[in-house]
Structure 1
Amino acid sequence: MSDARPTAAPHAQRNAQAPALPACPVCGAASAPFVTLGGRAYFRCPTCAARFLDPAHHPAPADERAHYLHHENDVHDPRYRRFLSKLADPLLARLAPGARGLDYGCGPGPALAAMLREAGHAVALYDPAFAPDPAPLATSYDFVTCTEVAEHFHRPADEFARLRALVRPGGWLAVMTCFQTDDARFADWHYRKDPTHVVFYREETFRHLARAWGWSCAVPVKDVVLMQRPGGAP
């Protein structure tokens, strides 16, 4: 009697291979493993340089909203206003008088909108949790701001497509998010430890997006990017 054992069929061996890695949610390119921390896998994009959490570990919307309510975003807090001025000051320097804008992801305390209104600009508000009226998304603007929001995007490619469509020719998309710069410090990085932060951008990520869109891109200070849509009045 033979001792031979049946070998696995070729198709069975292929089925046993590791599952495919998720595509980059920012640019759609193939991703690579990055690091696993506390049972949560993170991936990196060799194309746009973003890092992102395995979508299987994204927080539920109710949990996100509960976490946001712990943020202290007081419109009258001078420290918070100084923080927001990192974006507000270089944006204001580029805006024509009386521009119309949208604060996308304004949160429960729209301090940035208040600062821009004080400078003479009209600012509409939208936030899926705290200002969910979709009416402001039906028009276009001279500028759209997105401060401390992009790191929460579960589908950033879709969100950026929406933001692009909201900006008029010649207008500005202003984004502020803490740039990821040091892989060796990622595990202990405070930004990574926020349970609602699921995607992490580098300066190169936004420069890649701007090139893909045909927009200009300026980084006036770390963590702030101003992208301008071509066109508009000469």
Structure 2
Amino acid sequence: MPETVPQAMACPLCGGVAGLFCEDRMRRYFACTDCALVSADPAAHLSPQDERAIYDLHRNTPEDAGYRAFLSRLAGPLREHLQPGMQGLDFGCGPGPVLSLLLRDAGLAMADYDPFYAPDATLLGRQYDVVTCTEVVEHFRDPLAGWAQLAALVRPGGWLGVMTQLAPDTPERFLRWRYRDDRTHLSFHRLPTLQWLARRFGFSLTQVEPRVFLLLRC
């Protein structure tokens, strides 16, 4: 018998109905009617080992001027709200932490956490004045748990800085979107998704530019 293609699943973020949005040769994608998150089919998720192998190919270093400029798109606007001596955490820093270096230059005391490259879980047991999360939320296998963890790290009055590309609204544009081609990208956010998250976790949201967002913990 031919395979039955699932037409819907429970949204992994809000629990609403996520209908089949589109599919390519590798994966199916489901879009939630409530929070607007687009999710890759969990059946197509890579193993942690295969995911790590892709991350190991990244060559982002402090000496890379282009990468520093890329991260400055978040660091610059964020620094306008921070004071020297504040405590910060770069969540998902990757194999070559760079953003924390930029913020240390502004006088912040920064720590680095990454589940693969800097897995010091003790850093996750406290709160910070600022938490940065650049090109990370799209990798969340369980986006509700991931965002809940991020929110818990930010003390009241603190800042969460996020960088991620917003997903196109139509299947046709989504299938032409190169961000989708990275198989470690699993959770694709839209602006209504981030607005839903801000309400859910008690933040006020500011979009600084198309892929840069600042969230103030209320």
Distance 1:37 1:72, change over 3 A: same
Where do 4+ consecutive residues of structure 1 move more than 4 Å? 17-20
In structure 2, what is the equivalent of residue 36 of structure 1? Answer: 23
Partner of 1:124: 111
Confirm whether residue 56 of structure 1 aligns to residue 43 of structure 2: yes
Tell me the percent identity.
50
Give secondary structure in 2 for the equivalent of 1:96.
Answer: coil
Using the size of structure 2 for normalisation, the TM-score is 0.93
User: TM-score when scaled to structure 1?
Assistant: 0.87
> CA 1:18–1:182 in structure 2 vs 1: closer, same or farther (change >3 Å)?
closer
Give how far 1:21 is off: 2.9
Alpha-carbon distance in structure 1 between the residues aligned to 2:215 and 2:203: 6
Give the counterpart of 2:151 among 164, 167, 171. 164
Contact 1:27 1:209 in 2 (8 A): no
Q: What is the DSSP-based 3-state SS (H/G/I as helix, E as strand, rest coil) of the residue aligned with 1:186?
A: helix
Superimposed CA distance per residue, residues 188-227 of structure 1 (whole angstroms, 9 cap, x where no aligned partner): 2111001111111112211111122232110011111111
Aligned length: 214
Q: Deviations over 1:66-121 (max 9, x none)?
A: 10111121112111011111111111111122211110000001110111111110
Q: Distance in 1 between matches of 2:71 and 2:216?
A: 20
CA distance in 2, matches of 1:101, 1:125: 9
Decide which structure has the larger Cα Rg and report it: 1
In the other structure, the counterpart of 2:60 is 73
Residue 183 of structure 2 corresponds to 195
Q: Could you list the runs of 5+ residues in structure 1 that have no partner in the other structure?
A: 1-16
CA distance in 2, matches of 1:111, 1:150: 18
Q: Structure 1's 39 and 72: CA in aligned 2 closer, same or farther, altered over 3 A?
A: closer
| Cα deviation digits, residues 1-60 of structure 1 (max 9, x gap) | xxxxxxxxxxxxxxxx98683211222222111012115211001111111101111111
2:214 is the counterpart of 1:226: yes
Correspondence list, 1:87-102, <5 A: 87-102=74-89
Query: Which string of whole-angstrom CA distances, capped at 9 and with x for unpartnered residues, describes residues 120-156 of structure 1?
Result: 1011111110001111111110011110111111001
Structure number with the higher strand fraction is 2
Indicate how the Cα distance of structure 1 residues 78 and 27 shifts in structure 2: closer, same or farther if over 3 A, else same: same
CA distance in 2, matches of 1:162, 1:122: 21
Structure 2 gaps of 5+ residues are none
Say yes or no: does 1:113 pair with 2:118.
no
- Name the Cα RMSD after superposition: 1.5
Distance of 2:83 and 2:203 partners within structure 1: 19
